[in-house]
């Protein structure tokens, strides 16, 4: 396996579910290639840092406000549909 092939499979290397045979091949390349090793380690770290970086949580009061607004509009739409469609479905 060369560096290009390794890079193409980097996603698989990061994915813990990758089959052991492929993993062994990737391991062999990474073991002998410091550039690919660094690329792999720092990419994995990038994913980890990104994943751990929580943005804002939707605050509960705002959440309820949005839910209420949506439900109100949905309810209006449902009523409007009833009015104009009468007994359509079935």
Partner 1 sequence: METLVAPNADDLHPDVALVERVRSGDLSAFEQLMKQYDRQIFRIAQHITQSREDAEDVVQDTFLKAYTKLDQFQGNSKFYTWLVRIAVNESLMRLRKRRNHPTVSMDEDIQTEEGSVPRDFADWAPNPEQLYRQTELAEILRNNVEKLSPGFRAVFALRDVDGLSTEETAEALGLSIPAVKSRLLRARLQLRERLSRYFRLPSGEQA
Instruction: Give the x/- contact pattern for partner 1 in 9-48, rule: CB under 8 A.
Output: -xx--x-------------------xx--xx-xxx-xxx-
**Alpha-carbon torsion, ordered 31, 36, 39, 44, to 10 deg:** -40
H helices present in the chain, as ranges: 3-8, 10-14, 20-32, 34-52, 60-85
Among 9, 14, 3, residue whose Cα is nearest residue 36: 3
Q: Please tell me whether residue 80 binds partner 1 under the rule CB under 8 A.
A: no
Closest CB to partner 1 among residues 57, 83? 57
Q: Please tell me whether residue 57 binds partner 1 under the rule CB under 8 A.
A: yes
CA pair distance 68, 41, nearest whole angstrom: 46
> Would you tell me which residues interact with partner 1 (CB under 8 A)?
7, 10-11, 14, 34-35, 38-39, 41-43, 45-47, 49-53, 55-58, 62-63, 66-67, 69-71, 73-75, 77-78
């Amino acid at each position: 396996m060369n560096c290009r092939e390794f890079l193409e499979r980097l996603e698989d290397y990061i994915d813990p579910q990758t089959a052991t045979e492929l993993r062994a091949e990737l391991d062999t390349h990474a073991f002998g290639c410091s550039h690919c090793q660094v690329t792999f380690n720092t990419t994995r770290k990038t994913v980890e840092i990104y994943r751990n970086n929580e943005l804002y949580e939707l605050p509960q009061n705002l959440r309820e406000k949005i839910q209420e607004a949506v439900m109100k509009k949905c309810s209006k739409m449902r009523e409007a549909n009833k009015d104009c469609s009468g007994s359509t479905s079935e």
